[in-house]
A and B are shown apart, each in its own frame.
Chain A
Amino acid sequence: MSATTPSAGPRPFWQPHLAGVLLGLGLLMTFVLTGHGLGASGFTTALAATTADVVAPAATESSSYWGPMFENGRNPLDSWITWQVIGAALGALIGAMTAGRFQISYDGPVRLGKPQRLLMAFAGGAISGLGARISLGCTSGLGLSGAATLASAGFLFLGGFFITGAIIGLATKRIWQ
């Protein structure tokens, strides 16, 4: 794994089934080690709670939603999921660097300008964040990890996810390609 020359361009993505096997083995290892699967939105929730607590501690700790996360002096970020997301960030960084794919850039719907793309990314993130709290889990925690335990909830989540995503995805395909 020596440094890639800029002219070589990024390496291709892995074949989907190969990447899926590695992801599945990582998920299986997580279940065997911890008894639960992988996640993501548990961390964003803890980060949001901590942000709220820094800005308005009294209001946050008396809030019916945030309050219980701070009971008995607890810190919501002091949790396994925080370390798992830090690990995922490092893993992604290593993956992008070693494949020559790390580049400061703007992804998103190519037919739109940068400000509109960033606005759509923020709006999509807000809808996703709200959704993940409604279902108590996101594509990782409920879709991937839930379905791996054959939980009906995992498949129900994935059904709602793919059907809605495809309806809006097909309706907006002109701005993406």
Chain B
Amino acid sequence: MSFPLGIGGIASGLVCGLVFGFALERAGFGSATKLTAQLRFKDWAVFNVMFTAILVAAIGLYVLQLIGYVDMEQIYIPSAFLWATLLGGVGVGAGMSIGGYCPGTSVVGFCSGKIDALLFFAGLIFGTFIFAGAYDFLEPMLKAMPAPEAQTLPELLDVPTWVVLGALVAVAATVGYLTTRKPASPSSAASA
């Protein structure tokens, strides 16, 4: 048996989604205050959770590929248009700093009872209408600068995958250490 299995059915969607939503909720990502605290550098949970998840999946895929279980040719790698990708990131970042969520976390927010997350979700639909309305005007500009042939960081930097993974682990571990260690202030001793 070789992976990916190509299971695109209802059950796999529900099960994968269930883990996704549960993990985001447990991380605290149903809260606009918690999410945006990262953008004010008061709380590094968003960075630490995301980077850990990216590395667990990336290293997992790398190992599964090495032992011949996964064919990376069958794994979807996004390769959008350069300016469009950057501009979209700017929009989603602005959206979180103003509205408190991103598309996925707004679902987690309103499933935790947050009314503002429901409004954010309604805004997403409205923003999609704006895009559809402006599509004929936007499309040529967005497709103006295609991504380079190299789709992945190892290809782009021309280094082996393990080097990129190692560098990302180093960044994640450094930020993780600096942001989650207990402050050595006298006040924290009392809470231990």
- Cα distance A66–B131 when bound, in Å? 10
- Cα distance A168–B107 when bound, in Å? 23
Kindly list chain A residues whose C-beta atoms are within 8 Å of the C-beta of B130.
Answer: 126, 129-130
A4 within 8 A of B: no
- Cα distance A148–B106 when bound, in Å? 22
A83 adjacent to B17 (CB under 8 Å): yes
- Cα distance A31–B180 when bound, in Å? 29
Which A residue's beta carbon lies closest to that of B150?
A152
B123 adjacent to A129 (CB under 8 Å): yes
Given contacts A23-B49, A83-B10, contact A135 B77 (CB under 8 A): no
B150 to chain A, nearest CB (A): 7
B119 to chain A, nearest CB (A): 4
Interface readout for B101-129 with A: 1 if CB under 8 Å, 0 if not? Answer: 11111111101111111011111111111
Kindly list chain A residues whose C-beta atoms are within 8 Å of the C-beta of B103.
Answer: 40-41, 44, 128-129, 132, 138-140
| Size of B's binding interface in residues, CB under 8 A | 128
Other-chain contact of A122, B7, B20, B86, B126 (Cβ < 8 Å): B126
B45 adjacent to A108 (CB under 8 Å): no
A90 adjacent to B76 (CB under 8 Å): no
**Main secondary structure on chain A at its contact with chain B?**
helix
B78 adjacent to A151 (CB under 8 Å): yes
A131 adjacent to B94 (CB under 8 Å): yes
A153 to chain B, nearest CB (A): 5
A58 within 8 A of B: no
Given contacts A16-B48, A24-B55, A128-B124, contact A134 B19 (CB under 8 A): no
B113 adjacent to A152 (CB under 8 Å): no
- Cα distance A30–B111 when bound, in Å? 22
B25 adjacent to A91 (CB under 8 Å): yes
- Cα distance A95–B12 when bound, in Å? 19
Within B15-71, the residues touching A (CB, 8 Å) are 15-28, 30-34, 36-42, 44-45, 47-58, 60-61, 64, 70
- Cα distance A27–B4 when bound, in Å? 13
A160 within 8 A of B: yes
B187 within 8 A of A: no
Interface readout for A39-72 with B: 1 if CB under 8 Å, 0 if not? Answer: 1110011011001100000000001111000000
Pairs of residues from A and B, 10 with the lowest C-beta to C-beta distance, nearest first: A124-B99, A131-B91, A135-B88, A125-B123, A87-B17, A129-B127, A24-B56, A20-B52, A128-B95, A160-B89
Binding site for A on B (CB under 8 A): 3-10, 12-28, 30-34, 36-42, 44-45, 47-58, 60-61, 64, 70, 74-80, 82, 84-109, 111-117, 119-132, 135-136, 138-139, 142, 147-148, 150-154, 156, 161, 164-165, 176, 180
Binding site for B on A (CB under 8 A): 13-17, 19-41, 44-45, 47-48, 51-52, 63-66, 80-96, 99, 101-110, 117-118, 120-170, 172-173, 176-177
Q: A23-B27, A104-B115, A120-B100 are in contact. List 19 more A-B contacts (CB 8 A).
A: A17-B48, A34-B8, A80-B8, A102-B113, A105-B113, A121-B116, A124-B99, A125-B126, A130-B128, A132-B103, A135-B92, A136-B78, A139-B104, A140-B102, A147-B58, A150-B161, A164-B90, A165-B97, A169-B38
